[in-house]
Structure 1
Amino acid sequence: MALRVDGDSPQNFSALFDLRGTADTGELRLTSPIGSTLGLARWSPAEAVLDNGSRTYRFDTAGELIRAATGADIPLDALFSWLAGQDKSVPGWRADLSQVDAGRINAWRDSPLPRAELRVIFDTP
């Protein structure tokens, strides 16, 4: 998974990931290429928690957690749909699912600013 967020202080992030669950209740574990855990995010309708190994942060929603961790509003419900090969429309986002059968998704957010690009490579079942 790789994320680029443009803006006054551009950010680039890439990590291996393990995504489980649904957009309502799930878990995302991010690891470095050498296998070190970078962070663990868990969410449910009651709360969202981000543990980076040294500190735990609590949020009311998964959306707030994602925004705080990445600086971008990544549509979690759409991400699960895109991974399943379903073209879910999200205002401001466009997704390229042409390579989903090969385990690749690219998505771009053009509005609202800052612009963002999400690239996901995943194992297909």
Structure 2
Amino acid sequence: MNRRLALSAGCAGVLLLAGCASPVGPTSATGAEAWSGRLSLRIDSEPVQTFSALFELRGAPRAGELTLTSPIGSTLAQLHWSPGEALLKDGSKTRRFDSLDALIEAATGAAIPVAALFGWLAGREERVPGWRPDLSQIGTGRLQATRDAPQPRADLRIVFERA
């Protein structure tokens, strides 16, 4: 009887704590999250490279998709990844990549740490060598991350909302 009472009290405590937690973002049963907004990337190379687009990011670091569109709504690229697969659909062409990192670099011109990006957008301080995220404005839907190494320096700015 005491064991059953202790188990019931433990379960009630877990449920109470779970009821007090607030979700970081919309999630499905698979843990997928979704954001949309605008992103810009500046790479301080010679010559300086800039990239900006509207975006929709869905999924998780392990499997997801990123759609990049122009300000007038035309699709620039669709990126899809899952274990063992990384695809870039660019117009009528589909290209395969060995990794998500290679896929992102091909689409944007810089190696953006996508696994960390999911954490940063959710307000978590994910550490990535060479990158400095500024999460001070996450509550207002703004993220800035700077890559100091490897060179050239890159500056990523995102204005977002949870989809």
TM-score (norm 2): 0.73
Gaps of 5+ in 2: 1-38
* Inter-partner Cα distance in structure 2 for 1:15 and 1:82: 19
* Inter-partner Cα distance in structure 1 for 2:70 and 2:88: 16
Q: Is the contact between residue 50 and residue 57 of structure 1 (CA under 8 Å) also seen in structure 2?
A: yes
* Inter-partner Cα distance in structure 2 for 1:62 and 1:77: 9
Corresponding residue for residue 30 of structure 1: 68
Q: Which segment drifts farther, 25-34 or 60-69?
A: 60-69
TM-score (norm 1): 0.95
Q: Is the contact between residue 45 and residue 61 of structure 1 (CA under 8 Å) also seen in structure 2?
A: no
Corresponding residue for residue 13 of structure 1: 51
Q: Is the contact between residue 5 and residue 72 of structure 1 (CA under 8 Å) also seen in structure 2?
A: yes
* Inter-partner Cα distance in structure 1 for 2:130 and 2:105: 15
1:54 Cα deviation (Å)? 3.0
1:6 Cα deviation (Å)? 1.5
Superposition misfits of 4+ residues, deviation over 4 angstroms: none
The amino acid across from 1:12 in the alignment is T
Q: Percent identity?
A: 58
Matched, 1:75 2:113: yes
Match of 1:56 among 94, 100, 123: 94
Q: Is the contact between residue 101 and residue 124 of structure 1 (CA under 8 Å) also seen in structure 2?
A: no
Q: Which segment drifts farther, 106-115 or 66-75?
A: 66-75
RMSD, matched Cα: 1.2
More helix by share: 2
Matched, 1:98 2:136: yes
**Aligned pairs, number:** 125
* Inter-partner Cα distance in structure 2 for 1:101 and 1:36: 29
1:124 Cα deviation (Å)? 4.1
What is the CA deviation profile of residues 33-66 of structure 1, one whole-angstrom value per residue up to 9, with x for unaligned ones?
1111111000111110001113211101111111
